[in-house]
């Protein structure tokens, strides 16, 4: 199973990505964690991005893409899939990832879209900021991050839908219920995704199935 996670800030993609990885026994490729690991190990890449990270600057796409390509190649060598968390954030990255996947014969089977209401996301992120002491994560900052997501990241959802690999779930419910719905959907698809070509597939919207998995 090869899964891309597409979600706004606060929707729980890190948590769900880790659960998916554990369930299927595949690597959880989290770009932020990979960058921090390279810095900690003082690799060539880590030394190249350390100063940028310390200044709070974005790491160039080509650097992150090279890092992700290496992680996907490692997953292929291990004979497993992956769950990618942290990319893509825009159409340029989405298309580049697709080309990387094609070159490695490791394109994503599923683009998992976690849908959530902005007001709920703001509530969650403010609660997390208070818990973790993030004084810079204020409501105006959070609203700006969400606006950027809707403007820059969300359009890739339509692209994945057009490719037939999009699966949308309601991320507004408790973590365990969201996880149960995701894993049930992915398990049911596991035997199909390798044999049904993208052009013969259709996007799947599971956001209306709250009753089946519990609404609260």
DSSP state letters, 153-164: ITHHHHHHHHHT
Structural domain for 142, as ranges: 2-30+80-209
- Indicate whether 136 belongs to any domain: yes
Q: Do 169 and 206 meet the contact criterion of CB atoms below 8 Å apart?
A: yes
pLDDT digits (tens, 9 = 90+) for 97-153: 999 999 999 999 999 999 999 999 999 999 999 998 877 778 998 998 899 889 988
- Check residues 45 and 76 and name the one with the higher pLDDT: 76
- Indicate whether 192 belongs to any domain: yes
Q: How far apart are CA 74 and CA 5, in angstroms?
A: 19
- Indicate whether 22 belongs to any domain: yes
pLDDT digits (tens, 9 = 90+) for 161-174: 998 899 999 998 89
Contacts of 37 (CB under 8 A, 6+ apart): 46
Which of 4, 1, 11, 55 is closest to 31 using CA atoms? 4
Cα atoms in the Cβ-side hemisphere of radius 13 Å centred on 22: 7
- Indicate whether 216 belongs to any domain: no
- Indicate whether 54 belongs to any domain: no
Confidence of residue 195 (pLDDT cuts 50, 70, 90): low
The whole model's pTM is what?
0.84
For residue 120, give the CATH number of its domain.
3.40.50.300
Q: How far apart are CA 62 and CA 208, in angstroms?
A: 38
pLDDT of the residue at 196: 65
- Indicate whether 14 belongs to any domain: yes
Q: How many domains, in total, are found in the chain? A: 1
- Indicate whether 67 belongs to any domain: no
Q: Residues in the chain, how many?
A: 216
Q: How far apart are CA 192 and CA 188, in angstroms?
A: 8
Structure letter (DSSP) for residue 164 = T
């Amino acid at each position: 199973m090869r899964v891309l996670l597409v979600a706004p800030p606060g929707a729980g993609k890190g948590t769900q990505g880790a659960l998916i990885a554990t369930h299927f026994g595949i690597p959880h490729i989290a770009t932020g964690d990979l960058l921090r690991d390279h810095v900690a190990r003082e690799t060539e890449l880590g030394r190249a991005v350390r100063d940028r990270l310390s200044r709070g600057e974005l790491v160039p796409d080509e650097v992150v893409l090279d890092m992700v390509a290496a992680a996907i190649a490692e997953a292929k060598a291990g004979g497993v899939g992956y769950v990618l968390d942290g990319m893509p954030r825009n159409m340029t990255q989405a298309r580049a990832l697709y080309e990387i996947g094609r070159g490695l014969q490791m394109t994503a089977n599923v683009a998992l879209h976690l849908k959530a209401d902005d007001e709920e996301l703001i509530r969650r992120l403010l609660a997390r900021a208070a818990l973790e002491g993030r004084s810079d994560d204020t409501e105006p900052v959070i609203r700006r991050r969400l606006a950027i997501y809707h403007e820059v990241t969300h359009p890739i959802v339509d692209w994945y839908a057009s490719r037939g690999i999009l699966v949308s779930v309601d991320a507004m419910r408790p973590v365990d219920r969201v996880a149960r719905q995701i894993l049930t959907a992915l398990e049911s698809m596991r035997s199909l995704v390798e044999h049904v070509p993208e052009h013969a597939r259709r996007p799947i919207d599971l956001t209306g199935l709250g009753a089946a998995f519990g609404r609260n």
